[in-house]
Amino acid sequence: MQSSVQALRGAGIAGTGACVPERVLTNFDLEKMVDTSDEWIVERTGIRERRIARNGEVTSDLAAQAAAAALDDAGVSAGEVDLIIVATVTPDMPFPSCACVVQAKIGATNAAAFDIGAGCTGFVYALSMAHDLVAAGRYSKVLVIGAETLSRITNWSDRNTCVLFGDGAGAALVRPLERGDGLLAFVLGADGARGEVLTLPAGGSAHPASHDTVDQGMHYIHMQGNQVYRFAVRIMVEATREVLERAGLAEGDIDVVIPHQANQRLIDLAAERLGSPEKVYSNVARFGNTSAASIPIALDEASRTGKLKTGDRVLLVGFGAGLTWGAAILRWCKDEFHA
Ligand code: UT7
């Protein structure tokens, strides 16, 4: 739901950063691992390759590097950060939180830190929280990070899922704006009753890790892909319409759309229904689906490659495990922090 926080001031993104592992896994590599083909994967998903963390490289490593890049971009030191929110479904361990590990790794000793779990929608949820906390005057420099190592929860012998996912992290620093607002509207939603179509069943209180859960592969992603697909097409369109309404804008007012990078077919379909294919940013071919990291990685790429201009209105829209969805409209105002 939209926040009812009494906004005292505006908030915007002052810097972004991203980090993906060096190791590339191509569709041709996957052909040697499961019964699949480059042709099938490209046709059904648009994915050509993805990045996979090396042994010992963990979610907080990618998150910390993305965070450091965002701080550098914003010209803010780690000691000035007062809150870190990490959106992830693959923290280094259930606790301490990934955000606390990141806090230690980047030396953000004055920051509070916590994780949120909203599946692939996590970054939009976290950005909404950051906006409200900054707008309410509670915090002034909030690091919002989406970070995942999905390769660690992927069943590499299940062709239905293993071709889709990749590892990576993206980050944004949210700061108060003197005038106007940078983060214009949010829509967050959930349909917990449909959660069973995308789960990681074991490792929690329902099915604590045991030999049995491991034997049954319950520590891997389980997904009914076509169910998620149908939900995603509908919800991306609905969430977009709703967030536009909240912002008092029309489709034509949006300059750049950054959807969750799950599948090129999904991105194309949503873009077609929204009537704006040329505005949609996609990097799914190179990184696959990196869950909560996909939107902030794409946002950082779009910023660094000059696709985002000051004043551009940017739509973020995502969906994922929960089931959850979220959309945000922001005004690209990074330069206003450096004026
Ligand atoms: O971030 C949110 C996470 N999830 C998603 O975004 C997933 C959304 N869903 C999707 O992207 C698509 O549903 C998939 C890409 C997962 C699957 O595409 P699809 O067009 O829905 O295929 P399907 O599941 O209906 O499967 C069609 C066929 C099946 O064979 P049969 O039963 O028709 O003989 C599958 O066994 O394709 C087969 N198949 C494969 N074949 C070659 C499934 N995976 C593969 C594969 N290589 N990797």
Q: What is the pLDDT of residues 233-281, one digit of tens each?
A: 999 999 999 999 999 999 999 999 999 999 999 999 878 877 778 899 9
Catalytic residue set: 120, 260, 289
How far is 32 from 52, CA to CA, in rounded Å?
16
- How would you write the pLDDT of the chain (339 residues) with one tens digit per residue? 445 556 688 999 999 999 999 999 999 999 999 999 999 999 999 999 999 999 999 999 999 999 999 999 999 999 999 999 999 999 999 999 999 999 999 999 999 999 999 999 999 999 999 999 999 999 999 999 999 999 999 999 999 999 999 999 999 999 999 778 899 999 999 999 999 999 999 999 999 999 999 999 999 999 999 999 999 999 999 999 999 999 999 999 999 999 999 999 999 987 887 777 889 999 999 999 999 999 999 999 999 999 999 999 999 999 999 999 999 999 999 988 876
Ligand 1 pocket test: pick from 148, 158, 229, 319 the residue with the most ligand atoms within 8 Å of its Cβ.
Answer: 229
Full set of structural domains in the chain with CATH: 1-339 (3.40.47.10)
Q: Among the atoms of ligand 1, which is closest to the Cα of residue 162?
A: 48
Q: What is the pLDDT of residues 272-284, one digit of tens each?
A: 877 778 899 999 9
Q: Among the atoms of ligand 1, which is closest to the Cα of residue 321?
A: 2
Ligand 1 pocket, Cβ-based, cut-off 6 angstroms: 36, 40-41, 44-45, 120, 159-160, 163, 223, 225-226, 228-229, 232, 262-263, 289, 320
